[in-house]
Amino acid sequence: MTTHPLSPFRDDELASQCAELFGSHVAISPLSSIDRMGRRITGIDLTQPLSAPQARLLIALLDAFNIISFPRQDQHTFRVRDLERLANHYGAPIPHPKNYENYATYQRDGEPLRRLPVAKQTTTLCNNAFPDAITCTEDADSPAVYVVTNLPGSGRDKTEMLASGLHWHTDIEFEPEPLSTSMFYVQGVPTTRDAENGSWVPDVHPPEGFYHPESGDELTQRRLDLPLNGETAYADTAAAFADLPTDQQVELRQVMVRRRLRIGDPGWLIPLVYTNPRTGRLSLHSPVWASRGKNIAPVEVDGLSDRASREFLDDLERHVLDPKYRYDHAHTPGDVTIWSNFSTLHNAPPAKRIINRPEDARLMYRISCKGEPALTLPRDDTNDWMESNILPPYRSPSHYLRASPASA
């Protein structure tokens, strides 16, 4: 079997290590093609805690292939705490601000942080939509979990509503220490295909002004070319960088970009090109924010004007979104899928935002994390590092780091 073109790892070598550490029944296969990012690893039960060698191997798999998916976890035994335990090996889980009722005033005024009342939590709103058909899985109300779903506000008496896809992005990259890794556990996916085009939804485009009006036609088309059956769209920024001419790679490695949350913030400079400290692989770390700005301030290229920054980064985004670097991941109930935020972009697809039948439900649980990987748990992040980088403050409960009772 040939060497993966963007990685020092070989599929057969990693498959051999998987068999040695997890059992001979474990298999690795491409998500799309042997020469493209993404691998499917079958036969690993993620309800079981990982040994240090097993954790090292799963970290290496993500480093090698950018996206790794573990299909068919047993939905009778898998709990979201199992996902959170896995996340702790990749980095420190980040609590999501939407899980708190006063995050803004906590940040601004130092007000004591409060979780949302149970009645307003996303899991409760999901359970209220079709109580006879869909109930969130156990531990989904953890502060570290962001529930990706169209269930809140839905119900059998509701009028269906559609939504366009989002911007191409990496998760929460507007903090000084950006997220390294994100992952989904999938409980439910839409099964209807009754749009006129034979898909779950028609091709819904965002409103005018969603992207900068001066974006070129080719870039605009690539941005809007999204899957229509609830898949998550990915683009490989490591492969895109590797394909650039050598002289352009050298130039880009000198480029610094300023990220900030709000226009007017001083922000901070980070390299545009990310170097994976474990493999040395180079990738473009999300060169897309210059055309955004409604919710998060656009990125600036150090030394360039706003317009020049946008044109510079738009050109890179057009390259990254070339179809040869794209992969649309079809979710299946029971799957756990992990992706690197340093070597991919992703996008949420057009969707039914409000639904009136459970067959249209999309229900997944996302956990994102930052910081160095950990081979053993609990993590040993210092209090100073946690206070500087994990906001709101959060550490996974110790009992989440053991096997859940259902699988013990």
Instruction: Assign 3-class secondary structure to 350-374.
Output: CEEEECCCHHHCCEEEEEEEECCCC
| Comparison of pLDDT for 70 and 262, the residue scoring more | 70
Q: How far is CA 288 from CA 255, 284, 361, in A?
A: 14, 10, 30
- Across the range 239-261, mean pLDDT stands at 95
Sequence ranges of the domains in the chain:
11-401
Burial class (CB in 10 A: 0-12, 13-18, 19+), 403: middle
**Backbone phi, psi, residue 81, to 5°:** -65, -30
CB 260 within 8 A of CB 218: no
Other CB atoms within 10 Å distance of the CB of residue 353: 17
Lowest mean pLDDT among 123-132, 220-229, 289-298: 289-298
Q: Tell me: the pLDDT tens digits for 184-205?
A: 999 999 999 999 999 999 999 9
pLDDT at 290 over 80: no
CB 10 within 8 A of CB 65: no
Res 4: pLDDT: 37
Average per-residue pLDDT for the chain: 92
The rounded distance, in Å, linking the Cα atoms of 117 and 83 is 24
Residue 399, token pair as written in the block: 């009992």
Give the closest residue to 57 by CA, choosing from 21, 92, 111: 21
pLDDT at 3 over 50: no
The rounded distance, in Å, linking the Cα atoms of 342 and 278 is 13
The rounded distance, in Å, linking the Cα atoms of 208 and 295 is 16
Radius of gyration, CA atoms only, the chain: 21
Collect all residues with Cβ–Cβ distance below 8 Å to 256 and sequence separation of at least 6: 269, 270, 271, 272, 301, 302
pLDDT at 11 over 50: yes
* 258 alpha carbon, distance to own chain's centre: 22
CB 293 within 8 A of CB 307: no
Question: DSSP string spanning 138-203?
Answer: TTTT-TT-EEEES-TT--TTSPPEEE-----B-TT-SSSS---EEEEEEEE------STTSSSS--
Mapped onto helix, strand or coil, the DSSP state of residue 94 is: coil
- Across the range 362-370, mean pLDDT stands at 97
Q: What is the pTM of this model?
A: 0.95
Mapped onto helix, strand or coil, the DSSP state of residue 221 is: helix
Res 6: pLDDT: 40
pLDDT band for 263, please (50, 70, 90 cuts).
confident
The amino acid at 267? G
Lowest mean pLDDT among 28-42, 62-76, 163-177, 368-382: 163-177
The rounded distance, in Å, linking the Cα atoms of 181 and 295 is 22
| Crossing angle for the helix pair 306-320 and 217-224, to the nearest 10 degrees | 60
Res 408: pLDDT: 59
Res 294: pLDDT: 61
pLDDT at 38 over 80: yes
- Across the range 351-379, mean pLDDT stands at 98
pLDDT at 275 over 50: yes
Does domain 11-401 sit in CATH 2.70.70.10?
A: no
pLDDT at 10 over 80: no
The amino acid at 337? T
Res 5: pLDDT: 39
